[in-house]
Structure 1
Amino acid sequence: MALRISLLGLNQTAVSIGLALQKHTAQLERVGSDADLIAEQKALHLKAIDRIIHNLHAAVEKADVIVLCLPVDEIHSTLEAIAPSLKPGAVILDTSPLSNTVFHWAKTLLPEERYLISFTPALNPSFLTDMDESLDKASADYFQRGLIVITAPPETHADALKLAGDLAEMIGGKPFYADPFEADGLMAMVDLLPKLAAAGLMRAAMNQPGWREGRKLAGRSFLGVTEPLLHLNEQKLLGQTAIHNSDNAIRLLDALIGELEDFREMLLNQDDQALHQALNAAQQQRILWWKDRLEGLWDVPSTPSILPTSGQVIGRLFGLGKRPREQDKGKKSSR
């Protein structure tokens, strides 16, 4: 029997996952479900899914793996809705930039022997400069040369975590196993901070007396630095990612404010040498980072230390070995 993977929320990430799995359709079935009927039909037309199951409960009740590609403000309600329909041993992969908060929701909402794992992709650098998030720009190569941050609660079954790592490799990514607190800190730095900084800059500019005329002159710099505002992680209730990761958000905002205060001090003192050195150091780090990001040759652990080193994970994924439920028979879950 083919392993069923259900994609909930058919955005560009979900459709790209489906496309990357297309060469494995002899061993698995890709199901797609979205509140938007047009998105469902588009994903089917692009051959990113094998079938549409619009009803949320029907989409997950026979699924071995459920991939959540949802706005942060829809994750809790979705977990609450699907929890009664999940079969024992089901693995939920959440692609959002939050770990600890979603784990707390899962512990509260999900029955025993259903496992939620954070599965946050860092995209192929070739796609980073294209800001078009339409489904037409989805690609089977979306995750090549990119890392996929994988983290899970300590009670997660080892096979479930191995399954997540193997799926990451199947879609072209490189698994990056992290502690949940580390993952939240990293995602706050590289995803949340740019969005908050963009909002702060936009508000600072629009509240200036000269904004009415200045907006007519704003060019590449202004466009680029405010672009993150168009890619927030929520659909309706904006800011939930920051609220649920507030400790890291506050720490990073303090760091940013400190850097801006340093620039302010340099300008007050007309210290052109200090300003030159600070800007040059930042510029060189930006150049080096982008070079490294394009190469994607990161040194990361290939397997988490908590997992067994023997056995074929791909066998488990395709149902040829034991699945989490089978290994748990006779054992009481630690949840």
Structure 2
Amino acid sequence: MVQVAIIGLGPVGGSLGLALQEMAAGKGRRTPKAGANGRLPLLVVGYDPEPRVAGEALSRRAVGRVAYSLKEAVEEAGLVIIAQSGPAVRDTLQDIAPLLKPEAIVTDTSSNKVEVLRWAEELLPPEVSFVGGHPVLLPDREVNWESGLQAARADLFQGAIYCIIPGPRASSQAVDTVQDLAYLVGAEPFFLDALEHDGLLAGLNHLPYLLAAAMLATIGASAAWRDLKLLADPAFRHLQQLLSARPADFYQTCFSNRQPLLSWLDRLLAVLGEMRRELAGEEGGGEYLRRIVEKARAAGADWQARRDERLKELEALGAQIPSARQSLLSLFLPYGGRRREERD
């Protein structure tokens, strides 16, 4: 029996659990060949700091068993998924380090990878492999983070890009396992460097969040806020959604990724400075604003077209790796699947 432990049963951890539970029951879209009884020998054990949430996860069948301590969750697990963010990831790595069995595989789902990989290197035993992970959802998959486990859904990762950043001590077996995990929950694995990942996410994810926070805080502090609320149109709602689409403590994630974020902020401030100069002057007639808007529209159109093209490329690569793909199971069991080296 393969045991997978999920620590943190919010929208991400709960959705991973639901997807793996469907796979175990032989119902997943990418489920490997099941046993004689139609099920896979997979046990999903869930732990959450709030026992009530863990009980809820069991009721929703997001986990097959609830653990009421980290020790109970990880001591027999071949794969441990830390579905938390910010400093909570470090705390969990520190707490589980002495509890893991030899050659266990640990991964996470947080959006900062340089920091998390450093923590894993410092805290985990040398015989344990750490492979960083970060699922990036499809643009139309909106998550109500405030709803916690209630926002979890088995198909949350369908079509997602699952960033995979192996730690320096990660075995090829561990990398295969996390790659196959991504594939099995419906995502497309995408390998990249930790520094590259954090730099890209700073611009795409963290910068818009901080910009929305600054704008909403500024508008909300206005003496005219009472009337402004009445005049807010759908554009204002989209601005608010940039905040609500992230967990309440997401500012900590931004702060821990501050070096690449500072670079993006500097570039944004330079553009805003040019805008201000044109608005304050009498010359130009809005020419700079026009060029910026045109560039923004072109970038948006290019993103939509090229993302779909890139996703098809990744799907084609995934199709070249046969059946998950028994390998997630074969890494822990003496049968099924083939190693990546043998498949290539």
For this structure pair, what is the TM-score category when the shorter chain's length is used for normalisation? 0.7 to 0.9
Following superposition, the deviation at residue 34 of structure 1 comes to 0.6
Taking the aligned partners of 1:151 and 1:39, their CA distance within structure 2 comes to 29
2:185 counterpart residue number: 171
8 A contact 2:121–2:167 mirrored in 1: no
Letter in 2 for 1:3: V
Matched, 1:244 2:256: yes
2:340 counterpart residue number: none
Identity of aligned residues (%): 30
8 A contact 2:164–2:192 mirrored in 1: yes
Matched, 1:106 2:106: no
Aligned residue among 88, 97, 105 for 1:74: 88
Number of corresponding residues: 312
Matched, 1:55 2:54: no
**Structure 1 residues 3-24: Cα deviation after superposition (integer angstroms, max 9, x where no partner):** 1111101011111111211233
Taking the aligned partners of 2:15 and 2:139, their CA distance within structure 1 comes to 15
Taking the aligned partners of 2:113 and 2:228, their CA distance within structure 1 comes to 40
2:31 counterpart residue number: none
Following superposition, the deviation at residue 186 of structure 1 comes to 1.7
1:44 counterpart residue number: 58
Structure 1 residues 94-243: aligned runs within 5 Å: 94-128=108-142, 133-233=147-247, 235=249, 239-243=251-255
Letter in 1 for 2:98: P
2:13 counterpart residue number: 14
Following superposition, the deviation at residue 318 of structure 1 comes to 4.6
1:35 counterpart residue number: 49
Taking the aligned partners of 1:161 and 1:126, their CA distance within structure 2 comes to 29
Following superposition, the deviation at residue 125 of structure 1 comes to 3.8
- What TM-score results when the alignment is normalised by the length of structure 1? 0.84
| Unmatched segments (≥5 aa) in structure 2 | 25-39, 319-324, 337-344
Taking the aligned partners of 1:177 and 1:258, their CA distance within structure 2 comes to 32
8 A contact 1:163–1:316 mirrored in 2: no
Deviates more, 1:311-320 or 1:52-61: 311-320
- What TM-score results when the alignment is normalised by the length of structure 2? 0.82
Taking the aligned partners of 1:315 and 1:34, their CA distance within structure 2 comes to 25
Taking the aligned partners of 2:115 and 2:181, their CA distance within structure 1 comes to 23
**Structure 1 residues 150-206: Cα deviation after superposition (integer angstroms, max 9, x where no partner):** 002222111111111011101110000001111111221222111111122123223
| Unmatched segments (≥5 aa) in structure 1 | 304-310, 323-335
Taking the aligned partners of 1:70 and 1:76, their CA distance within structure 2 comes to 10
Taking the aligned partners of 2:247 and 2:118, their CA distance within structure 1 comes to 19
Following superposition, the deviation at residue 292 of structure 1 comes to 5.1
Aligned with 1:141: secondary structure?
A: coil
Taking the aligned partners of 1:135 and 1:231, their CA distance within structure 2 comes to 15
Letter in 1 for 2:208: P
Aligned with 2:46: secondary structure?
A: strand
1:5 counterpart residue number: 4
1:86 counterpart residue number: 100
Aligned with 2:231: secondary structure?
A: coil
Letter in 2 for 1:19: L
Following superposition, the deviation at residue 281 of structure 1 comes to 2.6
Distance change (3 Å), C-alpha of 1:194 and 1:52:
same
8 A contact 1:71–1:233 mirrored in 2: no
Aligned with 1:271: secondary structure?
A: coil
Distance change (3 Å), C-alpha of 1:9 and 1:229:
same
Following superposition, the deviation at residue 137 of structure 1 comes to 3.5
Aligned with 2:230: secondary structure?
A: coil
Following superposition, the deviation at residue 46 of structure 1 comes to 1.6
8 A contact 1:201–1:226 mirrored in 2: no
Distance change (3 Å), C-alpha of 1:18 and 1:129:
closer
Distance change (3 Å), C-alpha of 1:68 and 1:97:
same
Taking the aligned partners of 2:143 and 2:201, their CA distance within structure 1 comes to 19
Following superposition, the deviation at residue 222 of structure 1 comes to 2.0
Taking the aligned partners of 2:148 and 2:47, their CA distance within structure 1 comes to 17
- For the aligned residue pairs, the C-alpha RMSD in angstroms reads 2.6
Aligned with 1:194: secondary structure?
A: helix
Letter in 1 for 2:10: N
Aligned with 2:43: secondary structure?
A: strand
Following superposition, the deviation at residue 295 of structure 1 comes to 7.4
Taking the aligned partners of 1:254 and 1:123, their CA distance within structure 2 comes to 27
Taking the aligned partners of 1:103 and 1:49, their CA distance within structure 2 comes to 27
Following superposition, the deviation at residue 130 of structure 1 comes to 6.6
